[in-house]
Structure 1
Amino acid sequence: MLEKFFRLKENHTTVMTEVLAGITTFMTMAYILAVNPAILGDAGMDRGAVFTATALAAAIGTVCMALFTNYPFALAPGMGLNAYFAYTVVGSMGYGWQTALAAVFIEGILFIILSALNIREAIFNAIPANLKEAVSVGIGLFIAFIGLQNSRIVIKGNNLLELFSIAGYNRAYNVEASFKNVGITVLLAMIGILVTAVLITKKVKGNILWGMLITWFLGMVCEITGIYVPDPELGCDSLFPDAIGSALIPDIRPVFLKMDFRSVFSLNFAVVIFAFLFVDLFDTLGTLMGVSVKAGMLDEYGRLEHVKGALMADAVGTGVGAMLGTSTVSTYVESAAGVTEGGRTGLTGLTTAFLFILSLFFAPVFLAIPSFATAPALIMVGFFMMANVVNIDFKDLAEAIPCYICIIAMPFFYSISEGIVMGILSYVVIHLLTGRFKEKKISMLMYICVILFIIKYIVL
C-alpha cells in the first residue's frame, strides 16, 4: 500500500530510507516545541496549551503536505513569524494575543484563496529579489536580538542597552540578583551559543536541538552542585521537569478557538495581516525552492510540479494552527536534513508528523527547557537567516540602500512589519526620485503598498 500511494520505486527510495529521513527532519526542527511556547508565552499565552497547539499544527500541516504533494517537506509554526506575533503585534502594537490569532487565521484563509487562484506566485514575483533577501536578513537580526534579551546577555542600561553585569542588572530592574541565580544563567547561555555553533560547524544532525539540551543539562548539573540556586521571584525556576503527571498532554483549551475579530476592519490590523502574509509568502516559497533544488525536484524550467499543493498545505496549516492557538505555520528549511538523508516522498513527512504527535506525551520535558537554553537556538536561527545577506546586490545602491533600511529597521524599531514597510517605501521612493523606476519596472502592487503605508502614517 505504501509503495502504491507514495510511489517509492518511482522516486528511487525505500520505506526504511523514508522513515530515517523523517526522524532526521524531526530531530532538526524539534526545537520549535520548546521555543514556540516560550515566545508566545511572552505574549501572555498559556505555554502548555501553546505546546500542544504547536505539536498538533506541525503534525496537521506536515500531513497535508504529504497528502497534497507527496513531497518530503515538514511544516511547523515559523520562526520570525512567532516573534512578530509576540513582540510586535502584541508587545509593540498593543493588540491582545486573541486578536493576533485572528490575524493569523485571516492570513490562512487569504492564502487558501490566493493559492487556489495561483495569485500567490504572482505576488512573490512582484517584490524585488533583493528586498526579499533583506526581509530574511532583518528577521534574523531581530530573532537574534530577542535571544540575547531572553538570555539576559543584553540588558537595559545607561546607553539604552549594555552587556550583562550583576550590578547593572540589579540597577536596571531594581532587584537583588547574584551570580548563583541570574548570573550563572547568562554564563550558561553564552556557553550554549558556543556549543551550538560547534555542533553546527561539525554538521551534527539536530545540532540546534542538541545545543539546547546540552545547555539545559549543564544547568541541571549546576543546580545539583549548588552553583545555580533557583529563585522564582527573579524568574529563576528549578531546571528539572515536573515528573508528576508527565504522561498528561497539556490542555489546549486556554488557546483553542480564542480568535478575537473585533479589530478586523482597522487600518493597523490590515498592516498586521499584510506583514504576516508578506513574511510567510517569501519564507515558504523560498524554502520550497531551496529544498526542492537540493532534492532535485525541479523540472527543466526550474519549476516545482506540485507547488500549488505545497502552498495550499501551508495555507491550511496556518488556518488550522490559528484555530488550535499558535502563530503562522510555514514550511521548514530543516526539511533539507531529511532530503539529505534520502527522503523523497510524503512518507518522510508522515514519519515527522507522527513524531510530533508522539512528542505530546513528553510535554514536561520540552516545557521545562529554560530561556537561557532556548536563547542559543534563537541566535543560531538568526545566523542562518542572516546568511542571505550575501545574495543582496550591494553594487547597485538604489537596490542596496532600501535593503539596508529594511534590515536595520527591524531590530531598531523592534518590529518586523515596520522593517518591511520601510524597505518597500524607501525602495519605491529612491527609484522614483532617481529615475530608475522604468528600468526596474516596479510592479503596481508596490505602488499600491506605498500609498497604503503613507495613509497609515498620516492617519495613525
Structure 2
Amino acid sequence: MQLLERLFHLRERGTTLRTECLAGLTSFMSMCYVLFVIPAMLADAGMPAAETGTALVWVTVGATLVMGLWAGFPVAVAPGLGISAFFAYYVCGPAGYTWETGLGAVFISGVIFLLLTVTRLRQMIIDAVPMDLKYAIVVGIGTFIAFIGMKNCGLVAASPSTFVTLGDLGQPAALLAVAGVFLISALMALRVTGAMVIGIVAVTAAGM
C-alpha cells in the first residue's frame, strides 16, 4: 500500500485504492469490446484476425502501463474504433489501398504525431480548437460507438427507404440491451458504487 501511495499519491489526489480498482475494472469492462470488434473490422480489410487481436492486446497493455506508471494519468489507451473503421472500410475499401500500404501510412502519421508532440506543436493545435468543437467530437465518437452497439444487438436495422430503422425488439439480444441500459441508469441514479460493472456483469450473466 505504501508503494502504491508513493507511486500514485492517492491521498493527495483525494482517492483510495478501492476506488481506483473499481474505476479500473469499470474501464476494462466498458472497453473490452474492442478486443472483438476491432479485429473483426480489420479482418474485413484483409488482415489476419488472430494476429491482429494479439497485437491489439499488447499495444493496449503497453500504452496503458506507460500512461499509468510513467505519465501518472489514470487513462486506458487502446486503438480507436472510429479510426479503425476508417482504415478498414475506407482506406482498404473505396480508396483501394492494401492493408500493408495502409499500415505504412499509419506508421508515417505516427511519426508525424510524435514529432508534433515532442515539439509541443500538438498542444498548440489542440488549444486552438474551440471547446465547443472538442465537446462535439466526444459526443460524435460516443454516438458512433453507441450506434454500433445498437446495430450489433439488433435495436436498429438497415432499411431501404430510411437507411436505418427500429429493429426487432422481441429478440433476446435487443431485450437484454434495453434491460442493461435501464439497470445501469437506475443504479447510477441511486449512486450505487460500481453501477456500470454491476450492470454489465448482470446482463452478461442473463445472456449466458
TM range (shorter): 0.7 to 0.9
Partner of 1:201: 185
Q: Secondary structure of 1:155's match?
A: strand
Amino acid in the other structure paired with 2:175: I
Structure 2 equivalent of residue 43 of structure 1 = 45
CA distance in 1, matches of 2:164, 2:10: 55
Q: 1:57 to 1:207 in 2, by over 3 A?
A: farther
Compute the TM-score of the two structures, normalised by the length of structure 1.
Answer: 0.37
Using a 3 Å threshold, how does the CA distance of structure 1 residues 162 and 73 change in structure 2: closer, same or farther?
closer
Tell me if the contact between 1:31 and 1:209 (Cα under 8 Å) persists in the aligned partners. Answer: no
**How many residue pairs are counted as aligned between the two chains?**
198
Partner of 2:83: 81
| Selected match of 2:134 from 109, 117, 132 | 132
> CA-to-partner distance for each residue in 1:40-72, whole Å, 9 max, x for gaps?
233232222222222211110111112322122
Q: Shift in Å at residue 140 of structure 1?
A: 4.4
Which of 177, 199, 204 is residue 213 of structure 1 equivalent to? 204
Aligned to 1:115: 117
Structure 1 residues 193 and 42, CA gap change in structure 2 (3 angstroms) = farther
Specify every segment of 5 or more residues in structure 2 that has no aligned partner in the other structure, as ranges: 189-194
SS of the residue corresponding to residue 122 of structure 1 reads helix
Secondary structure, aligned partner of 1:44: coil
Report the residue type matching 1:206 in the other structure: V
Change (3 A) 1:88 1:68: same
**1:270-315 residue CA offsets vs partner (Å, 9 max, x unmatched):** xxxxxxxxxxxxxxxxxxxxxxxxxxxxxxxxxxxxxxxxxxxxxx
- Whole-Å separation in 2 of the counterparts to 1:214 and 1:35: 20
Mapping for residues 357-372 of structure 1, pairs under 5 Å: none
- Equivalence for 1:154: 157
Code of the residue aligned with 2:157 in structure 1: it is V
Contact 2:153 2:177 in 1 (8 A): no
Larger radius of gyration: 1
Aligned to 2:175: 191
Higher relative contact order (CA 8 A, sep 6+): 1
Cα distance in 2 for residues equivalent to 1:213 and 1:149: 18
CA distance in 1, matches of 2:52, 2:6: 37
Deviations 1:381-413 (A, max 9, x none): xxxxxxxxxxxxxxxxxxxxxxxxxxxxxxxxx
DSSP-derived class of the 1:91 partner = coil
Compared with structure 1, are the counterparts of its residues 199 and 61 closer, same or farther at alpha carbon in structure 2 (3 Å cutoff)?
farther
Q: Distance in 2 between matches of 1:198 and 1:57?
A: 34
Contact 2:63 2:77 in 1 (8 A): yes
C-alpha distance in 2 between matches for 1:215 and 1:80: 29
